[in-house]
Amino acid sequence: RELADRMLALMHDADGIGLAATQVGIVRRFFVCAIEGEDTVIVNSRFAKTGRKMEIDEEGCLSLQGVLVPVERHVSVTVAGKDETGADVRFELEGFPARACQHEIDHLDGVLILDRTPDEARRRALAILRPKPVLDARLVAYRGNARRVPSVTGLVVPEPATSREQSEREILGRI
């Protein structure tokens, strides 16, 4: 129960509506969420039933801050599992709560919203998530002349010689 309480606190602190154990490095099959305004713990969750109707809506994720992507989900699901005391639980959910539980169960199955979104939306999301290289200029002495060279890594890579002979002359000239 202590672990579930800590996860619920994390979820609320992050203004989330669900949090899977795997998101915080706990290799156990449970998640916490708010169902109809009530904090809920579901252990060993599974879909007892899924509705036929599907709907696409934007989803975000506490693990992927700043990203919203379209994801297709079942409009209604029945989720079965155990609560934190080991008692059987069953939730018949529609709309947003159904979507949230599907999202958290995906985490437990190793699936992210990026795995369920169209390619173009995935590319846009990855562009947001990737660190942006910061180009800086380093003053480099090269061939006796000072010049500015853009560097992503901060390492200076000299320009390749225009010919093998030129490269050999430069090397021999330094000896």
Residues known to be catalytic: 104
Rounded CA-CA distance 90/93 in Å is 10
Non-local CB neighbours of 59 within 8 Å, separated by 6+ positions: 68, 69, 70, 71, 99, 103, 113
Phi, psi of 150 (to 5 degrees): -65, 140
Give CA separation, 171 vs 39, 139, 162, 175, in Å: 71, 22, 14, 7
List own/partner pairs for 38-41 with CB under 8 A and 24 or more apart. Answer: 39/8, 40/83, 40/91, 41/4, 41/8, 41/83, 41/84
Q: What CA–CA distance (Å, rounded) separates 155 from 167?
A: 21
- For 103, counting Cβ atoms within 10 Å of its Cβ (0-12 exposed, 13-18 middle, 19+ buried), the class is buried
